[in-house]
A and B are shown apart, each in its own frame.
Chain A
Amino acid sequence: AIRMTQSPSSFSASTGDRVTITCRASQGISSYLAWYQQKPGKAPKLLIYAASTLQSGVPSRFSGSGSGTDFTLTISCLQSEDFATYYCQQYYSYPPAFGGGTKVEIK
């Protein structure tokens, strides 16, 4: 099974910061990668799929890049509503696997 590793597991940032979250796959997954945002007590929300395609309705400050084994999620200008936990997920092969999550906290 493919394993997904996110880094860092958590960090603090301020409103207006540019932040980057990294996701690494244990083997190549082409561009079969999605990113989700989850707030406490809520369901995950799809942000990006196919590594870099923004889901409809998601603000353009979110962007994704990468292919193969290394991927990044970037938030260009962090807003108050962006403090949450972010998960990557590979869907290249069964079973689809999520990363361990990255919690973005207020500094």
Chain B
Amino acid sequence: EVQLVESGGGLVQPGGSLRLSCAASGFTFSSYWMSWVRQAPGKGLEWVANIKQDGSEKYYVDSVKGRFTISRDNAKNSLYLQMNSLRAEDTAVYYCGGGSYLFPMFWGQGTLVTVSS
């Protein structure tokens, strides 16, 4: 069974940092593009970033460029999102997703990030 489990969310002050993790199981993690997608409270979905199977290509939405870094460790079947210089508008549930290049075929349950003083 495909499973993605996010962790690392929480309350952080504006300007602070947080690192999200996503543990994958039930599929060959190293064979798939992986993505982060977020959803602000009561709002729609927003694609954040994705990373190629070997980590050689990474793409970001403009609003997080220079602040967020996506990475992966195929030996640990894990995906990461390092988030720096956090802003109130980054408050959201962050989902990791995997499968296809630009549309996640399977998703984790999400982790909530709240940026507030």
Contact status A87-B44, CB under 8 Å: yes
How long is the Cα–Cα vector from A56 to B101 in the complex, in angstroms?
18
How long is the Cα–Cα vector from A95 to B45 in the complex, in angstroms?
13
Contact status B103-A34, CB under 8 Å: yes
Write the nearest CB–CB distance from A73 to chain B, whole angstroms. 14
How long is the Cα–Cα vector from A87 to B46 in the complex, in angstroms?
11
Query: Nearest residue in B to A101 (C-beta to C-beta)?
Result: B44
Residues of A within 8 A of B46 (CB): 98
Q: What band does the interface of chain A fall in when counting residues whose beta carbon is under 8 Å from B?
A: 20 to 34
Contact status A98-B100, CB under 8 Å: no
* Contact among B59, B95, B101, B103 for A46, CB-based, below 8 A: B103
Q: What band does the interface of chain B fall in when counting residues whose beta carbon is under 8 Å from A?
A: 20 to 34
Query: Nearest residue in B to A92 (C-beta to C-beta)?
Result: B102
Contact status A45-B102, CB under 8 Å: no
Contact status B104-A46, CB under 8 Å: yes
Query: A89 with B103: in contact, given A43-B110, A44-B45, A99-B44 (CB under 8 Å)?
Result: yes
Q: Which residues of A contact B (CB under 8 A)?
A: 32, 34, 36, 38, 42-46, 49, 55, 87, 89, 91, 94-101
Q: Which residues of B contact A (CB under 8 A)?
A: 37, 44-47, 59, 61-62, 95, 99-110
